[in-house]
Structure 1
Amino acid sequence: MPEGFVLLRDDARAALTAWQAPTDALEATRARMLDVLEAEPQCMWRHGVRTHFTASLVVLDESLEHVALTLHGKAKRWFQFGGHLEAGDASVRDAAAREGREESGLGDLLVSTDLVQVDAHALPPVFDWCREHLDLRYAAIARSGDLVMSDESDDVRWWPVDALPAGTEDSLVEAIHLARENLSART
């Protein structure tokens, strides 16, 4: 396993330890993630174990009234931007920011300092090796609004936060709400 993932594991542990989960369900997920970090040394590396950590970014416009989402190429559902950690990422937050820039084309992102949500979700067989993602979610304000679709997506667009696409998962609705709270407290 590349050494960078050891540092990312320490960073994830610090982020999860510092974060105050706003609900009992999120606290249970946070506690499970800490348990996985302790039990599985390779949990930050997508090739280490089938259940591993990812980082994602909920991107809102400056008004906090629109969220940028990607229609995921494999899942065929709308999600926030995110994905696997890379050995060169300086932190989990930096991984989330990198994923946000790569998948949205937005270069000018003001990224939250702290986590806004955590999520554990099983993956269907179309994801090959990966069986479960333990997602560490951050928020960002986009200071420019021109989205560019990546090769991982079937579409990318801005959605009003009160008119999300049909079938949006409850955890994403919650993440958007928590991101708005976090970002509105900063402005």
Structure 2
Amino acid sequence: MTVTETSATALHDDAVRTLEGWRTADAGQDRLRRDYLAHLAGHPDGLFRACLPAHITASALVVDPASGRVLLTLHPKVGIWLQMGGHCEPGDPDLAAAALREATEESGIPDLTLLTADGAPTPVMLDRHQVRCTGKDRPENTHLDVQYVALARPGAEALISEESLDLRWFGYDSLPELTDDSVRALVARARELTR
């Protein structure tokens, strides 16, 4: 087994452990959790872009709780304001690290930390959505997104990357019109958990 295969297996095993250990009182979220686990059981490569028609992705909503604001990116492919996130990479040691890497790269904020439960980073929500991550002229595929909350220090300043059309802080109660219900639900959950 190559180093890449070993790290991909470790990432897959971590995703299974993370989802098996994650509990929610919400029946819809629990159904998604079980669907994600079934996906991983059937696809050893289920965390990578090449796994079609669906693959696990990792994202993180960057939150500055002291200021009551969230950082959103205007996604160039989707055209709406979203949390930071994207595809897992073979070098990611675990799912939480993939989410933190994406949040750091896309926000330009170097010292983010993920929200934890019992001392370990934990997802806060799951979201399944259709995208065309393989290209505009290709069929849609499904992202099985595992969502975390990344905490920014008070007053943190973001730095836009080439992965965004725009990057802005928004108050909890003043989210942009060009966002979707999944982002609004994630912001509400993050607000509740960081009070």
For normalisation by structure 1, the TM-score amounts to 0.91
RMSD of aligned residue pairs (Cα, Å): 1.8
Alignment of 1:1-187 (within 5 A): 2-3=4-5, 4-63=7-66, 65-112=68-115, 113-124=121-132, 126=136, 128=138, 131-143=141-153, 144-184=155-195
Over the matched positions of the two proteins, sequence identity in percent amounts to 36
Asked if 2 retains the 8 angstrom alpha-carbon contact of 1:74 and 1:127, the reply is: no
For normalisation by structure 2, the TM-score amounts to 0.88
What amino acid maps onto 1:84 in structure 2? Answer: H
Deviation at 1:175, TM superposition (A): 1.1
Distance 1:127 1:19, change over 3 A: farther
Asked if 2 retains the 8 angstrom alpha-carbon contact of 1:11 and 1:92, the reply is: yes
Task: Work out the number of aligned pairs and report it.
Answer: 184
Asked if 2 retains the 8 angstrom alpha-carbon contact of 1:53 and 1:136, the reply is: yes
1:5-57 CA-partner distances (Å, limit 9, x unpaired): 22111111111111112311111111110110111111111123331011000
1:93-142 CA-partner distances (Å, limit 9, x unpaired): 00100000000001111212111001111114628476110001110111
What amino acid maps onto 1:173 in structure 2? Answer: R
Structure 2 Cα separation of the partners of residues 163 and 22 of structure 1? 28
Structure 2, unmatched stretches of 5+, are 116-120
Deviation at 1:92, TM superposition (A): 0.5
Runs of 4+ in 1 over 6 A off after TM superposition: none
